[in-house]
Amino acid sequence: MFTIDQIKNAHSKVKSGADFPNYIQELIVLGIVSYEIFVTDGHAVYSGKDNFNLEAPAKYAPLTIAEKSNAQQFVQDLKKHQQGKTDYKTFCNDSAKNGIVKWIVNTVAMTCVYYDSDENNVLTEKIPG
């Protein structure tokens, strides 16, 4: 089983989206099979084997999520983040402005799927392994 402190330790090494693949590898070692990030306040639900779930508290004050998603702008903002040009908080703000309500990372399938408020898949990315 994993703990919130272990997850925080792994996340503390992430300075930008460029560090994301290494972060995912650390989560896999901890036994995390998926996690869901909620853009509204940054809280997360981490899932492991045998239906083990752990919820992390909010990371910031609530954001307003745009009612209509803007996939094109979101992809541009995501690329900037992955290139290390924005920090995590900026990426979350950009996601909210672009109507992204959450994303789910699956460490088994090595995917990250971004969703709008209607649960539509806005973008599916393959995570470099």
Q: Answer positive or negative: Cα dihedral of 16, 13, 126, 116.
A: negative
- Per-residue pLDDT tens digits for 28-51: 999 999 999 999 999 999 999 999
Q: Which fold has domain 4-126?
A: YdfO-like fold (3.30.1810)
Pair of tokens at residue 91 = 């990426």
Q: What are the structure tokens assigned to 35, written together?
A: 């996690």
The pLDDT score that the predictor gives to residue 108 is 95
Domain definitions of the chain by residue range: 4-126
Q: What is the pTM of this model?
A: 0.91
Could you give the CA distance from residue 76 to residue 25 in angstroms, rounded to a whole number?
Answer: 25
Tell me how crowded residue 76 is: count the other CB atoms within 10 A of its CB. Answer: 13
What is the pLDDT of the chain when averaged over all its residues?
94
> Does the pLDDT value for residue 27 go beyond 90?
yes
Question: Measured at the alpha carbon of residue 127, what is the angle toward residues 109 and 22, in degrees to the nearest 5?
Answer: 115
Q: Note the pLDDT tens digit of each residue in 76-128.
A: 999 998 888 888 899 999 999 999 999 999 999 999 999 999 999 999 999 98
